[in-house]
A and B are shown apart, each in its own frame.
Chain A
Amino acid sequence: METNPFIEDDQRVKNRPQACTVVIFGASGDLTHRKLVPAIYNLMVDGELPAGLKVIGFARREKSDEVFRKDLEVLNQKVSRSGHNAGLWEKFAGSISYHQGEFQDVTAYESLRTRLDAEAAAGGTPNRLFYLASAPEAFDDILLNLKASGLNDPIQGGWSRVIIEKPFGKNLPTAKHLNKVANEVFPERETYRIDHYLGKETAQNIMVLRFANAIFEPLWNNRCIEQVQITCAENLGMEGGRGGYYDNAGALRDMVQNHLLQLLSLIAMEPPTDLSADGVRDEKVKVLRSLRPLNGPEAVGASVVRAQYTAGTVQGTEVVGYRREDRVNPGSLTESYVALRIFIDTWRWAGVPFYIRMGKRLPKKTTEISIHFRRPPAVLFNAPAVAAGAADNVLVIRIQPNEGISLRMQSKMPGPSLRLEPVKMDFQYSTSFGKSSPEAYERLLLDAMAGDATLFARRDEVENAWTFVDSIEDAWHKSENPPKMAEYPAGSWGPKEADELLAQDGNAWRRL
């Protein structure tokens, strides 16, 4: 038989993961303990894991399998979405083992290969999924040693894939270098660059909203849409030693280059010809290629605002300014906030500003996309006398928290006078579907096991995003007259310069 006769019709539409050995590089790290292993555990609890799946943690510390499992169990008890069942964990833990080795030491990879080959020869899975969860500085070593040891070559009847965690480089040259190394070791179709935002249920729903409903797509263009805003607000600062990493990255590189430009692509893309990974990614990358470049400090200064927070109060707690945070350079020129006005030079979006803002120490944690529609002609109900204070129609896609979609529209206030007020229709995942959404990592791991790269970034997506971001970084850090660094008090909605950026177009940031 060529196909599995027991797969029912409604199961054919979902990715079916294949049994594999997941080798996690950086197995001692936070990501492995807090996200990856709990995600695999939850998949097992939900019955989504293929039979025969194994997990091997690869890291430099000396550790036995038992100690490794115990470490993982301690964290799983705290963070697992589905709770922790000691009996189930024990069975799950039987599939986890530890492989000690230095990332630079090829013999550790050779012994790993010997082990995997022996397991495959004994009837175990021939499929291998390598997960680069280490510090990015180690990516080159890991990739090159995977090649040197032959682990990148699929053995008969199997496949060999790699998942690479962000950041995908620090700028275009480093991204190109990483892509070059990765593609020398694995073909692009087996390279999975993970952006966990794309695994979020609401991000996946953007395409469904646009292309499965007849009512939105006809309006999805510059004739009906006035502006689009993408906001990613965080109330956290540099807690837990984040300052060390963040001060070398900044808001633009840390969030905009990857997550927010990915969301922008989903919002602005043309309908793909099909739902294949490349069908979707071809359209997303066209959006990135169409971003109007911001070359030179004047263009950047006119469309981008960068800022750092000063001391203030966030949710009732007094906090220090950015430059006084732990592990942050007191003279730092790294932005904790960035606001951009972006234009997409395509037929569909000509003239529509896309405003993106991302900031630390803002009043609350939220990520939302809002589509602001043009107002109707100023006659009848929209005549100035009637519509004073009326608001435009806004479609809001809430990515996190409280995932959902809302639509603001005008309605007549009850009563004898003709008074219009905005009202909101609200769809919330939690109230409509009840069940909790799986963690983004769960979905993405399953997709990688199934060989579906739709929700992963392709090489050209990453490089085009860096091309856009690098021109801004260059204006900030390499020009002689860089745009100034603005300030905002912690706990506020950002610097006044960001408000002025929108005010130039007669717009304002949406209240969140």
Chain B
Amino acid sequence: MTAPQEIPGLAELGKEVPIGDIDQELREFFATDETVTKASLLNLAVYSEQSDALATNPPIIRELTRENACRSLLVLSLHGPERSVRAWVEAHCHLTEAGAKAACSEQVSFLLIGGSPSLVRSMIFSNTDSDLPLVLWWQGEMSEVFEERLHARIDRLIFDSAQWATPTAPLFRLSASLKEGARFVPHDLSFTRGSALRACLAACFEDPRSLEALPQLDAIEIRHSPGQQGFMAALWLITWITHRLGWTLQGSASIQGTYLFRSNNGRTVEANLLSTPDSGPALVGLKTWGAGFVFEASLDDDQDYWKLLIQFDTLQQESLFPARSQTPCGLLGEILGRAGRNRSMIEALPRLRELLVSN
């Protein structure tokens, strides 16, 4: 249990306001200053049970709102003997390109102590900007707060399976919710960490020669940083690749991170997830090869770009592809920037669970 005076970041949350005055206080931001204008494309609720969340999240939101105007609702829920609710309002303003006005995104922060799932729901639902989609960024382990009455009202759910001690159970829970008709689109930050590499692969196989070589792949090797973050990103990547190719899982080798797949033409393909000794970005490299063909992606020294190498026998072609930001803000921006149409992750979710339980 954390005493309120020990919770970091409260002093930086803007103006503390009574719960009933939040709307009024938000309006006042824009009523008095003609050089600012409100901007919002969505409601972003950020839920956490980690005591430093109200210190770590506002800087992310400030950065995120440069390109993704939203009303953010930051919720920190802590256990405590007595129920208490506090709220703060703040605006993140960024000068527009035209320069005449600053576009401001509203931020409402809540500290809930001794609360319940219904209190969390009530704080989020009573403070959303009407008619705009509701995106929930769930931080940390799934708790009982994530229940049907909450997820029935959200459009997109963002989480990070790398933060889960055992991802199998919560992923099963998510799958079950979706099967039961939940309409939210899930986004795992671990899946998003591989988005640049997925785009690299897509670009590589636009070339008809590469496409022709695809059924002849013999092996796939993914290098990742040590720890859960790197492993989950690599696992998602191999999940996605094999799912897209329609391969089936034959089994896993005794070595951690090695899987055997059967391709559509009956070949056995070995996939290895290799942990590098250095910490750094979750994914460090991807190599796949077959008869006379190699595709390799590796991060450049500055980690800003992926260096792609496509090799057919003696012919070699190199190119660059942006590595995309791996910060929480960069990952969130990537998800929000792709709207809600991409169902690649949902479709591959059963395969991920299959791999998780097999190794």
Contacts from A to B (Cβ < 8 Å): 1-2, 4-11, 13, 16, 18-19, 44-47, 49-53, 87-88, 91, 122-124, 157, 401-402, 428, 430-436
B34 at the interface (CB under 8 A from A): no
Whether a CB of chain A sits under 8 angstroms from the CB of B179 is no
Q: Other than A1-B211, A122-B315, give 7 A-B pairs with Cβ distance below 8 A.
A: A5-B214, A47-B322, A51-B308, A88-B305, A402-B98, A430-B97, A434-B65
* Nearest neighbor of B339 in chain A, beta-carbon distance: A10
Secondary structure at the B interface, as helix, strand, loop or mixed, is mixed
Per the bound structure, the CA–CA distance linking A123 and B344 in Å amounts to 32
- Nearest-neighbor residue (CB-CB) of A5 within chain B: B244
Beta-carbon contact of A52 and B320 below 8 Å = no
> 1/0 contact trace for B221-253 toward A, CB 8 Å?
000000000000000000001001110000000
- Tally of contact residues, B, Cβ under 8 A: 53
Contact with A along B70-112 (1 / 0, CB 8 A): 0000000000000000000000001011100101000000000
A87 to B310, CA, bound (A): 22
Whether A4 and B206, one on each chain, are in contact in the complex, defined by CB atoms closer than 8 angstroms, is yes
How far in angstroms is the closest Cβ of chain A from B314? 8
* Residue in A6, A433, A435 whose beta carbon sits within 8 Å of that of B201 in the complex: A6
Q: How far in angstroms is the closest Cβ of chain B from A46?
A: 7
User: Would you call B198 an interface residue if the criterion is a C-beta within 8 Å of the partner chain's C-beta atoms?
Assistant: yes
Supply 16 A–B pairs (Cβ within 8 Å), ascending by A.
A2-B211, A6-B244, A8-B202, A10-B342, A11-B199, A16-B206, A51-B308, A51-B319, A157-B208, A428-B96, A430-B103, A431-B37, A431-B39, A432-B39, A432-B41, A434-B65
Q: Which residue of B lies closest to A122 (CB)?
A: B315
Question: Chain B contacts of A49 at CB under 8 A?
Answer: 319
* B250 smallest CB distance to A (angstroms): 19
Q: Is B69 an interface residue (CB 8 A)?
A: yes
- Whether the pair B199, A47 counts as a contact (CB closer than 8 A) is yes
B99 vs chain A, min Cβ distance (A): 9
Q: Is the CB of A434 within 8 A of B341?
A: no
B304-340 interface mask toward A, CB cutoff 8 Å, 1 = contact, 0 = none? 1100101010010101111010000000000001110
Query: What is the bound-complex CA distance between A44 and B37, given in angstroms?
Result: 34
Point out the residues of chain B lying under 8 angstroms from A8, CB to CB. 198, 202, 342, 344
Q: Which 8 A-B pairs have CB atoms at the shortest separation, nearest pair first?
A: A123-B315, A431-B103, A51-B319, A434-B67, A6-B202, A47-B322, A430-B96, A10-B341
Q: Across the two chains, which residue of chain B brings its CB closest to A95?
A: B319
**Docked complex Cα distance between A428 and B37 (Å):** 11
> Which residues of chain B come closer than 8 Å to A123, judged between CB atoms?
312, 315, 317
Partner of A44, one of B69, B202, B320: B320
Q: Is the CB of A11 within 8 A of B202?
A: yes
User: Distance (Å) between the CB of B287 and the closest chain A CB?
Assistant: 16
- CB-CB < 8 A to B67: which residues of A? 433-435
From known contacts A1-B211, A91-B320, infer whether A6 and B198 are also in contact, taking CB-CB under 8 Å. yes
Q: Which residues of A contact B215 (CB under 8 A)?
A: 1
Contact between A51 and B344, CB atoms less than 8 A apart: no
Residues of chain B contacted by A87 (CB below 8 angstroms): 302
Minimal beta-carbon separation of A400 from chain B (angstroms)? 11
